[in-house]
Structure 1
Amino acid sequence: MYGRKACQLVKELENSESGQLTGFNTDLFAQVIEQCDGHVNNLQALLRKMQEVGSENQTAKNADHFGALMHHLSLVRNKRCLMAYVYNRAEIVQTLGWTVDCVLPEEIEEKLSSSEREYFKNHSATLKSYMSDLDIDLALDMVPPKDPYIKVRVLEEIGTVVLSDQLANLARHAILFLRRTDAEQYIAQGKMEELTG
């Protein structure tokens, strides 16, 4: 039956864990594209036949019209399933661009197709370029903070630094209240830790 293979691609997405990638199903994807090519060829043949016959034989004309409609609708459905498969995977790859640096872990990279790898590389480069133009790291804190100030402990001697709203001596083992934006870079480097509770 037409559309079964394309439906399997969509079911594969539905059965996978949300936000997680499974290996790109190259074989099934290629089979659906091959099926689409077959529908296009059959549709074109039926349209040529209808043009040649004209409007003389109404019974043959109706059968050809319904056949052409069936191939057209099957083609549209297959394309929609292919687009859903690619789009959902692209959304996950975009999310990876925000959470993973420019290099993908090997277990994730082997699940991507070559075009998805290229998309990730371009997306990451664009994000990095945009953030460097703004001189801000948009991926630091993806969850909005409840309080702009946090309590931190300095783990390594940093010295006197100019922060956004004050001059601070960041001596080892000092406990301070700092703006989250000022402390995040040191926390990411392992020179500070956030104290909770």
Structure 2
Amino acid sequence: MATFGESSYKLAKEAKRTADLLVSPYNEDLVQNICRETRMLHTKAETILRTMRDDATIDGPDKRTSRLTQLIMHHSAVKHNKRVLFAYHRQRMDKLKELSWDVGRQGEYQRDIKSALGPQEHRFLEEYGDIVASYKKAFLDIDLGGNGGVGLVPPKDLFIEVRVIKDAGEIHTEYGVLNLAKGNQFYVRRTDVETLIKAGYLKHVS
């Protein structure tokens, strides 16, 4: 049987490990395990509190101290689980917002993105994408990013060094063909790979 906090520890560790990916697959199993554990802990805490109230006049100091310690332990575990769940979903929500601006709705990575989303994330991505698309329509003469655009942030360097962190096949540039196989490293023109960096296929090596 899993110990208290084991699932939330695994989820937090996974979120940290996958922070640089395009979008990591939604871990439904761990999320549901944490939710079930949190409900169980909350129920046990309520039971302990009810027992303390009912037996307040007959419990000795040692018994009251023991029950209070259990109550605090269960309450702390509930808070910890909730914080991990909030952090995990906040990280994913921020990533989806970033992709809505930087990759766009018609990007070539939409299939990879959507296959990794949880049930509610699909709805969020669609609705937030509608907001972004509606906003961009008012600024058609300005590059706000997405669909190959580089956005409003000016590049610091014309050429940069990048490392491939996810296979992306071959791309043709003005200076030749690049084989973007995982682990390869190139010195390339920033504008040729900007979209791939934002999509999580390449990493800028500083």
Q: Output the CA distance in 1 between the equivalents of 2:56 and 2:34.
A: 33
Counterpart AA for 2:151: M
Between 1:51-60 and 1:78-87, the stretch displaced more is 51-60
Q: Is 1:40 the counterpart of 2:42 in the alignment? A: yes
Counterpart AA for 2:42: V
Q: Tell me what 2:25 maps to.
A: 23
Q: Output the CA distance in 2 between the equivalents of 1:126 and 1:60.
A: 57
Pick one of 106, 117, 122 that aligns with 1:117.
122
The question of whether the paired residues in 2 share the 8 Å contact of 1:19 and 1:92 is answered with no
How far off is 1:118 after superposition?
0.9
How far off is 1:17 after superposition?
5.2
With over 3 angstroms needed to count, the CA separation of the structure-2 counterparts of 1:26 and 1:64, relative to structure 1, is same
Give the structure, 1 or 2, with the largest relative contact order (CA under 8 Å, sep 6 or more): 2
Q: Tell me what 1:100 maps to.
A: 103
Over the aligned positions, Cα root-mean-square deviation in angstroms equals 2.0
TM-score, scaled relative to structure 1? 0.67
With over 3 angstroms needed to count, the CA separation of the structure-2 counterparts of 1:96 and 1:145, relative to structure 1, is closer
How far off is 1:107 after superposition?
1.9
Q: Structure 1: which 5+ runs fail to align?
A: 147-197
The count of aligned residue pairs is 146
The question of whether the paired residues in 1 share the 8 Å contact of 2:22 and 2:113 is answered with no
Pick one of 68, 73, 80 that aligns with 1:70.
73
Counterpart AA for 1:36: T
Larger Rg: 1
With over 3 angstroms needed to count, the CA separation of the structure-2 counterparts of 1:89 and 1:4, relative to structure 1, is same
Q: Is 1:61 the counterpart of 2:64 in the alignment? A: yes
1:21 match: secondary structure? coil
How far off is 1:55 after superposition?
4.5
Q: Structure 2: which 5+ runs fail to align?
A: 156-206
User: Where does 1:1-197 land on structure 2 (aligned, <5 Å)?
Assistant: 1-16=3-18, 18-57=20-59, 58-103=61-106, 105-133=110-138, 137=142, 138-139=144-145, 140-145=149-154
Q: Output the CA distance in 2 between the equivalents of 1:88 and 1:126.
A: 20
With over 3 angstroms needed to count, the CA separation of the structure-2 counterparts of 1:44 and 1:61, relative to structure 1, is same
2:104 match: secondary structure? coil
Between 1:7-16 and 1:132-141, the stretch displaced more is 132-141
Counterpart AA for 1:62: T
1:2 match: secondary structure? coil
Q: Runs of 4+ in structure 1 displaced over 6 angstroms?
A: none
TM-score, scaled relative to structure 2? 0.65
With over 3 angstroms needed to count, the CA separation of the structure-2 counterparts of 1:142 and 1:19, relative to structure 1, is farther
Counterpart AA for 2:111: E
How far off is 1:132 after superposition?
2.6
* Percent identity over paired residues: 21
1:89 match: secondary structure? helix
